[in-house]
Amino acid sequence: VILHIALPTPLDRLFEYRFDGLEAPPLGARVRVNFSGRPMLGFVAGSSAESLLTNKKLKRIEELVDARSLFQAELWQTLEFAARYYQHSLGEVLSQALPSAMRQRERSREPGIDYIVLSAATDSSALHRAAKTSAQGALIELLRFGALSTIQLDAALPAWRAAYQQLAKRHVVERFRVSQFDPPPINHSRPSLNVEQQAALNTIHSKARYQAYLLFGITGSGKTEVYLRAIQQVLEKGQQALLLVPEIGLTPQTVQRIRERLAARVGVMHSNLSDSERELCWQSALAGRLDVVIGTRSAVFCQFPDLGLIVIDEEHDASYKQMEGFRYHARDLALKRAHLRGIPIILGSATPSLESLRNASANRLHLLTLSQRARAASLPRIELIDLRTQSQQDGLSLRAEQEIRAALSAGEQVLVFRNRRGFAQQLQCESCGFVPHCPRCEQALTVHRKAHALKCHYCGYQQPLHSACPSCHSEQLAAIGAGTERIQDALAQRFAEWPIVRIDRDAIRSKGALEKALARVGDGAPCILVGTQMLAKGHDFPKLTLVVVIGCDAGLHSLDFRASERLVQLLFQVSGRAGRAERPGRVLIQSHQPEHPLLQLLFKQNYTEIAQHLMHEREQTKLPPFAAAAMLRAESADVLRLQEFMQQARALFPVSQTLECFGPMPALLPKRAGKHRAQLVLTSAERGTLHQAIKSWRTALPALTRADLHYSLDIDPMDFS
């Protein structure tokens, strides 16, 4: 038999190999082959009795690794579709749908799982001796109600390993290994539903076949409770559920809460797990040892004996789009999967993507609305601070300062949101105007004062902070613009009597640092939180009543067509942090342009209205969701080579009445890490037309490439970066 093998190489075609079996193995089984002198694992993707190739060329399958397909029928079809839709090699698509451990290693280990438990001999006095604030205390606290797996502990207490070592020495805790996940302790307390939640749930329950829902619920309206009830219903039927969350949204608290609430075997799948842990979760789900998998983007490829429901939380989140290699959108593939499987899927968001809103108005998504806040009495009030009439220092206006003081004095917590880390955006010589730039990206370097460095936030380049201008040797160097570090310093000077907690990528370097920082805020004592978008999602601060947003003007004028949508979603999310408990929240937005229509619309706290405004803009400019778009990106150290390639690529593209091509234009970051970057945007009102055009056009591209020139094709690009 001749097998047609999909190989994990960018070459977008199948390769034929001779197989010495009587009949062809099932599609999706792995095989070991020699490909151009290298050993490789490929996937059976077809077969035939004969081959047109000469016997000399045709090689043998060295080993059939799996007797059965690794992919259930509906996932296989989804992946075949994905390869076609994203115009990516099937072999790479299949390979990426597997945990990386299974891409290289042929046999998987017997899945087993390590649990940590309090020793039977440990009495309560020993438990009391461990300080509650230490990692050891936290570990004991977690284990008090039963054993937890290493995976659960990684999620709940990232720094648990060191504490475990210490406690194990004193025989307070011990480790044992079992071959499957066990259900956590049962916890039946569940909040009651309001009328809207119940109505949404009834609608979801009414249909057991494919139906896609858009659960549009404002922050605090109880979307999660609807997900959990819907999942529970599915579990009661003996089926399993998949819950996708954004990268940043998978907090230990979320997982723990869901685990307890559902009293089900819950697996977690995210990028911080080790390869073997991911494989374990993947294998366990497939083997029916898990009821629910919560995971980020790549968890969309998890398989179950009888998957009954998919939920996508924060469906608008950009982290669902893979930004390199096989550039899939997990939400869109989940929709495809649910459709092929004939099961319901829920997309949830307080700020749905324009794509989903449009799908809802076209009845491709059934809209379910939650407009009542479950716990808080009212929505936060939004106020704009006009920076043109307000003096400001270190990025903070006088008005904001007064409001912060008032809130703190009233015993409340304050969040100062600034989506830029570091001390200052740039350094400028006051006598000659010199601004240090990254030699590889040509962007102004960010000042990091604590680290005493100038850093490039795009490529990671850094150099020591100058004390004198390298150009004119003046020592008058001004730090321009305020990042989180500077704002923290400024706040510390003005509010010395209150604790200030900064949360951004610089402050939260190590595992567990985020938990530590959040714990400092968790007791509800008055304090100031300063941070980037790390703070915007998922975390609940009941005592937080005031949010101050610093410097969001850049998002109003970006060249990226999705920038304003993102800004609005971010501002809504940040606003949602305020006043979740009984106290009403307030949001102060500092801007140089408070009259900007988007900011004016934010006032009304009505996302639908803002979305309509944005939608109108997109319709005018014929951009997604009113057109299908694709993007050709290329980069090279040699500008001329890059320009030549892009010009030729453009010339070959069959522009017509229904097909448009914009560019070549420099990328949003025209130079990054020493490479010049350019892009070509292709759009059409007809998705099929665009797809066909790109399909034939793309075959001509390899002939245009030179050494040191890389290009990639992005279908449904998320940004113009």
Partner DNA sequence: AGCACGCCGACT
Partner DNA sequence: GTCGGCGTGCTC
Instruction: Look at residue 586 and give its three-state secondary structure.
Output: strand
- 276 sits near DNA (criterion: CB under 7 A): no
Q: What angle do CA 445, 449, 451 make, to 5 degrees?
A: 90
- 15 sits near DNA (criterion: CB under 7 A): yes
Please list, residue by residue across 422-455, b when 16 or more beta carbons sit within 10 angstroms of its beta carbon and e when fewer do: bbbbbbbbeeeebebebebbebbbbbbeeeebbb
* Minimum CB–partner distance for residue 641 and DNA (Å): 10
* From 10, 46, 238, 439, residue interacting with DNA (rule: CB under 7 A): 10
- 640 sits near DNA (criterion: CB under 7 A): no
Give the residue with the Cβ less far from DNA, 16 or 315.
16
* Minimum CB–partner distance for residue 458 and DNA (Å): 22
* From 22, 38, 124, 509, residue interacting with DNA (rule: CB under 7 A): 38
Instruction: Look at residue 612 and give its three-state secondary structure.
Output: helix
- Report the Cα 58 to chain-centroid distance in Å: 43
Cα diameter, the chain: 84
Q: Give the count of residues interacting with DNA (CB under 7 A).
A: 18
* Minimum CB–partner distance for residue 710 and DNA (Å): 6
Give the residue with the Cβ less far from DNA, 6 or 578.
6
CA trace torsion 576, 582, 584, 589 (10° rounding): -30
DSSP state letters, 57-85: TPEEP-EE--SS-SS-HHHHHHHHHHHHH
- Report the Cα 709 to chain-centroid distance in Å: 29
* From 19, 35, 320, 572, residue interacting with DNA (rule: CB under 7 A): 35
- 324 sits near DNA (criterion: CB under 7 A): no
Give the residue with the Cβ less far from DNA, 128 or 710.
710
* Helix spans in 267-393 (H): 275-286, 330-341, 354-361
> Residues 659 to 718: which contact DNA by CB under 7 A?
706-707, 710
* From 17, 43, 301, 607, residue interacting with DNA (rule: CB under 7 A): 17
* Minimum CB–partner distance for residue 420 and DNA (Å): 34
Give the residue with the Cβ less far from DNA, 183 or 702.
702
User: How far is the first Cα of the chain from the last one, in angstroms, to the nearest whole number?
Assistant: 47
For residue 109, what is the DSSP state? P
Give the residue with the Cβ less far from DNA, 186 or 707.
707
Backbone angles phi, psi at 116, to 5 degrees: -115, 135
Give the residue with the Cβ less far from DNA, 166 or 643.
643
Give the residue with the Cβ less far from DNA, 10 or 342.
10
Give the residue with the Cβ less far from DNA, 53 or 248.
53
With beta carbons less than 8 A apart as the criterion, state whether 568 and 598 touch: yes
Task: With contacts defined by CB under 7 A, name the span among 10-18, 155-163, 445-453, 672-680 that binds DNA.
Answer: 10-18
Q: For the beta carbon of residue 24, count every other beta carbon within 10 angstroms.
A: 17
* Minimum CB–partner distance for residue 638 and DNA (Å): 10
- 36 sits near DNA (criterion: CB under 7 A): yes
Task: With contacts defined by CB under 7 A, name the span among 55-63, 143-151, 324-332, 409-417 that binds DNA.
Answer: 55-63
* From 23, 49, 50, 57, residue interacting with DNA (rule: CB under 7 A): 57
Task: With contacts defined by CB under 7 A, name the span among 29-37, 183-191, 216-224, 609-617 that binds DNA.
Answer: 29-37
* From 24, 26, 47, 58, residue interacting with DNA (rule: CB under 7 A): 58
Give the residue with the Cβ less far from DNA, 339 or 698.
698
N residues, the chain: 721
CA trace torsion 360, 691, 321, 560 (10° rounding): -90
- 21 sits near DNA (criterion: CB under 7 A): no
Task: With contacts defined by CB under 7 A, name the span among 32-40, 207-215, 457-465, 600-608 that binds DNA.
Answer: 32-40
- 115 sits near DNA (criterion: CB under 7 A): no
* CB within 8 Å of 391: residues ≥ 6 apart: 397, 398
Nearest to 528 by CA among 558, 550, 557: 550
* From 59, 381, 494, 511, residue interacting with DNA (rule: CB under 7 A): 59
Give the residue with the Cβ less far from DNA, 51 or 272.
51
- 19 sits near DNA (criterion: CB under 7 A): no
* Minimum CB–partner distance for residue 39 and DNA (Å): 11
Nearest to 325 by CA among 298, 303, 299: 298
The token pair that represents 126 in the structure block: 């020993």
* Minimum CB–partner distance for residue 709 and DNA (Å): 8
* CB within 8 Å of 507: residues ≥ 6 apart: 484, 513, 517, 531
* Minimum CB–partner distance for residue 314 and DNA (Å): 33
Give the residue with the Cβ less far from DNA, 59 or 650.
59
Give the residue with the Cβ less far from DNA, 65 or 228.
65
Nearest to 501 by CA among 478, 481, 519, 474: 519
* From 1, 12, 32, 53, residue interacting with DNA (rule: CB under 7 A): 53
Task: With contacts defined by CB under 7 A, name the span among 28-36, 278-286, 350-358, 537-545 that binds DNA.
Answer: 28-36
With beta carbons less than 8 A apart as the criterion, state whether 516 and 448 touch: no
* Minimum CB–partner distance for residue 673 and DNA (Å): 16
Q: Which helix (H) or strand (E) holds 595?
A: none
* Minimum CB–partner distance for residue 10 and DNA (Å): 5
Sign of CA dihedral 241, 247, 248, 253: positive
Task: With contacts defined by CB under 7 A, name the span among 15-23, 110-118, 128-136, 645-653 that binds DNA.
Answer: 15-23
Instruction: Look at residue 659 and give its three-state secondary structure.
Output: strand
* From 11, 193, 367, 492, residue interacting with DNA (rule: CB under 7 A): 11
Task: With contacts defined by CB under 7 A, name the span among 57-65, 121-129, 381-389, 408-416 that binds DNA.
Answer: 57-65
Task: With contacts defined by CB under 7 A, name the span among 33-41, 103-111, 166-174, 459-467 that binds DNA.
Answer: 33-41
Please list, residue by residue across 552-567, b when 16 or more beta carbons sit within 10 angstroms of its beta carbon and e when fewer do: bbebbebeebbbbbbb
* Minimum CB–partner distance for residue 433 and DNA (Å): 38
Instruction: Look at residue 593 and give its three-state secondary structure.
Output: coil
The C-alpha atoms of residue 423 and residue 482 are separated, in whole angstroms, by 6
Give the residue with the Cβ less far from DNA, 230 or 678.
678
E-assigned strands of 568-708?
586-591, 628-636, 659-672, 675-684
Give the residue with the Cβ less far from DNA, 59 or 449.
59
Task: With contacts defined by CB under 7 A, name the span among 4-12, 150-158, 294-302, 317-325 that binds DNA.
Answer: 4-12
With beta carbons less than 8 A apart as the criterion, state whether 652 and 693 touch: no
The C-alpha atoms of residue 396 and residue 594 are separated, in whole angstroms, by 16
Q: For the beta carbon of residue 197, count every other beta carbon within 10 angstroms.
A: 23
The token pair that represents 422 in the structure block: 């570091």
Residues within the interface to DNA (CB under 7 A): 9-11, 15-17, 34-38, 53, 57-59, 706-707, 710
